[in-house]
Structure 1
Amino acid sequence: GENAEEKYRALAYDTALSTLVAVALYVVVKVSLDGFRQWRARISVLIVGSGPVGLTAALVAVRSGKVLKLTVLDERYRTALLCRPQQIALDPRSVKFLLGLGVDFDNMEGCWHNEHFFTRIGVFQEYLLSILEQKKQRVDVKVQLGTKFTEDYLRRIPHNDWPRVIVVADGSCGDSCSVLGISSDYTVESCHAYGANATIERLDQRQVPTPEIRAHSLYFDLSAYGVEALREHRNPTTKPGFHLKIYGTFRNRYMALVCPASDTKMVRFLRHTANSSIMKNIFHQSFNAYKTDIEPRLSDVTLHHMQCSRRLFEIQLSHRCISAAYIEGDNVAVTVEGEAARVLNFDTGCGVNLGMRGLESMGTFIYRTATAVDQNDILEALSAKMQHSRQVAETFKQTGLAESMYE
């Protein structure tokens, strides 16, 4: 009886040990296979829009190491794309992000000021296109300019060549989201400030990058209109008065005027006045007071070169309720970026940085989508991407104007 019991114990021990070894071996093999599968995982990505955000998204995709084929679409042709005169200002956070993507600012026309980099949109886009051209040795990169993203374009793609990820970055006026069936509902939120914009176009001036100029705590003499410049200020967290920014090239000058939301007599007057010449005079005097010494003043003769807002308006941020989606039948993950996802109704000259913030989670999103085991993994990646997009909008609503105008 004792021998039988010992044999039973030995058999049980051997069985348990064998099971343990088998389980351990299974775990090791599975982890190794999963790691190998994740290492080999490569997907196809389609980016709609080749503006600063779209091309930066393309660079993020290439740098992720998980893209086998990358296609960039834009309905504009190369000439129209690269001749855009607007200047962009890349703040320190965007500069750091782009440096991490391999952008060499020393090889790009532009200038530095207070750790911000200023360049023309066309120059920035041309530089990013040149980087993508160099990446063709490792990734199948196709830039299709003059090609519009439509339902017909999608139908012409063989089903086995469909992208796993589509990035929509075709701006606030693009219709790619409607082509993909993504809701066009927006949430509009106040930034608790009022603003006005002005533009000056002088074709005889230089088209070179120029540092921005900021002025703070401005008050305007509107006594001729029956408004006294009472220096009321009820928000201790921001600087009082108006804040002015002059930016852009000498040929295409832009101005932004902003003040924190308040109910002072001057603000009420400038919000509701029907006399459009008042804002024009404010911008006229402000430009001449704060412009650089080497550019000409605005005179009554040249004032017709300036266009401006008729009155102060409430600054609002609009962002899509749905900025990421999953096309189940085709197993495609879609994310909406840049001004296609969120847009400010006020130009501060730093708008591209809002788009860059959204791209900070793009690399992780592509990696998680490429290595997803099932649909749940993709949905989790989309959920995280949408959450980050909402956070970008919320953060800008709280601090965006402070960073781009008040400081």
Structure 2
Amino acid sequence: MVYVSYSFRRYLRCSRQFTREFLKELDAIPARVLAIVCDGQKGHSARLLGVSDEFVHHSCKAYGAVATVDRADACSVPTPEVRVHNLTFDLSEYGYDDCRGEDAAPEYFHMKIFGNARYRYLALAVPRNESKLVKVLKVVLDQSVMRNIFQACHNVYKPESEPPISDNCALRLMKFNPRLFEVKLSQRMVNVTYVEDVDIFVVTEGEAARWVNFRSGMNINLALKGLQSLGQFIRLAASAQGEKAIVNALLFKFNHARSNVDEYLRSGLRETMYT
């Protein structure tokens, strides 16, 4: 958490963990305070400062699954990401012979391989549809189905310089979602507030304000877009005198946060996975 007062040089503080002891320090500051909470989706700082922990969950109209492989013997060297589109899977060897019947809607998947040589991530996403293949992968109980899909996709589309994922490696080192889940964006209902009694503005940023339950390798972009309005909000909050000016500052930050959510719901997965 970060908190800022009028006297930036004197009162700019950063803390990895917010505790109740900080409340006493905030009360002792003889000026207006801006507290920026950025301790992630599981943090407690916002609640301690009086901000509700209630989130609104928006559907991204897609299903997804993610796998990770941690090769301890490899170096953390960045590698280019790989995107593959229009994928489909044959599950006949698992007994699902009718997954591609004539009445099935198109079920094209999109895959991304990203990360570094040690920590390898594989993400699969498909626009929401009711095809037989998607229905099967949403409820399949045999975990080997998704594991084999991730392993096969990696070995076919990986860079030539990267070693394949062996059966032994997949069994020992791969962690993955055993079935498709609905991709959702969670947004804190109240991302900015003002506590009049102690003259404190509280604003949440990063995953403390909004987060997606699907790792695409570009999740940080959603947090960075939220910071674009922070400078202007600090100026508005610092100079706000009177109820109208305070409300205008709060509305400015709230509206910007809402526009970021709307933009991601419209085009977030298209930019990060579908193109």
- TM-score, normalised via structure 1 length: 0.63
Distance 1:335 1:157, change over 3 A: closer
Contact 1:323 1:386 in 2 (8 A): yes
Equivalent residue for 1:160, pick from 25, 29, 37: 29
Match of 1:205 in 2: 74
Distance 1:161 1:256, change over 3 A: farther
Distance 1:356 1:377, change over 3 A: same
Distance 1:189 1:158, change over 3 A: closer
**Deviations, residues 187-216 of structure 1 (Å, cap 9, x unaligned):** 111100000000000011121122211000
* Structure 2 residue 112 is matched with structure 1 residue 245: yes
Match of 1:71 in 2: 13
**Deviations, residues 263-289 of structure 1 (Å, cap 9, x unaligned):** 000000000111111000000100101
* Structure 2 residue 52 is matched with structure 1 residue 180: no
Match of 1:226 in 2: 96
* Higher RCO by CA contacts (8 Å cutoff, separation 6 or greater): 2
- For the residue of structure 2 that corresponds to 1:383, the secondary structure is helix
- For the residue of structure 2 that corresponds to 1:302, the secondary structure is helix
- 2:27 and 2:7 map into 1 onto residues whose CA distance is 21
Measured after TM superposition, the shift of residue 379 of structure 1 is 2.1
Contact 1:276 1:311 in 2 (8 A): yes
Equivalent residue for 1:392, pick from 245, 248, 260: 260
Query: What letter matches 1:314 in structure 2?
Result: E
Query: What letter matches 2:51 in structure 1?
Result: I
The gaps in structure 1 that reach 5 residues or longer are: 1-45, 49-60, 75-147, 235-239
- 1:161 and 1:327 map into 2 onto residues whose CA distance is 15
Alignment of 1:43-58 (within 5 A): 47=2
The gaps in structure 2 that reach 5 residues or longer are: none
Contact 1:244 1:258 in 2 (8 A): yes
Match of 1:137 in 2: none
Paired residues, what number?
269
Contact 1:66 1:370 in 2 (8 A): no
Structure showing greater radius of gyration is 1
**Deviations, residues 117-137 of structure 1 (Å, cap 9, x unaligned):** xxxxxxxxxxxxxxxxxxxxx
Contact 1:219 1:229 in 2 (8 A): no
Query: What letter matches 2:190 in structure 1?
Result: I
Alignment of 1:136-155 (within 5 A): 148-155=17-24
Query: What letter matches 2:165 in structure 1?
Result: L
Match of 1:281 in 2: 148
Query: What letter matches 1:47 in structure 2?
Result: V
Distance 1:160 1:301, change over 3 A: closer
- 1:66 and 1:162 map into 2 onto residues whose CA distance is 8
Distance 1:66 1:256, change over 3 A: farther
Equivalent residue for 1:295, pick from 162, 165, 177: 162
Match of 1:189 in 2: 58
Query: What letter matches 2:179 in structure 1?
Result: R
- For the residue of structure 1 that corresponds to 2:42, the secondary structure is coil
**Deviations, residues 22-44 of structure 1 (Å, cap 9, x unaligned):** xxxxxxxxxxxxxxxxxxxxxxx
Greater percentage in helix: 1
Identity rate of aligned residues, in percent?
Answer: 38
Query: What letter matches 1:302 in structure 2?
Result: C
Query: What letter matches 2:22 in structure 1?
Result: Y
- For the residue of structure 2 that corresponds to 1:301, the secondary structure is helix
Equivalent residue for 1:261, pick from 128, 133, 158: 128
- 2:254 and 2:7 map into 1 onto residues whose CA distance is 21
- For the residue of structure 2 that corresponds to 1:243, the secondary structure is strand
Match of 1:91 in 2: none
Measured after TM superposition, the shift of residue 233 of structure 1 is 4.4
* Structure 2 residue 171 is matched with structure 1 residue 216: no
Match of 2:139 in 1: 272
Query: What letter matches 2:85 in structure 1?
Result: H
- 1:316 and 1:377 map into 2 onto residues whose CA distance is 34
- TM-score, normalised via structure 2 length: 0.92
* Structure 2 residue 240 is matched with structure 1 residue 372: yes
Aligned-residue RMSD, C-alpha: 2.0
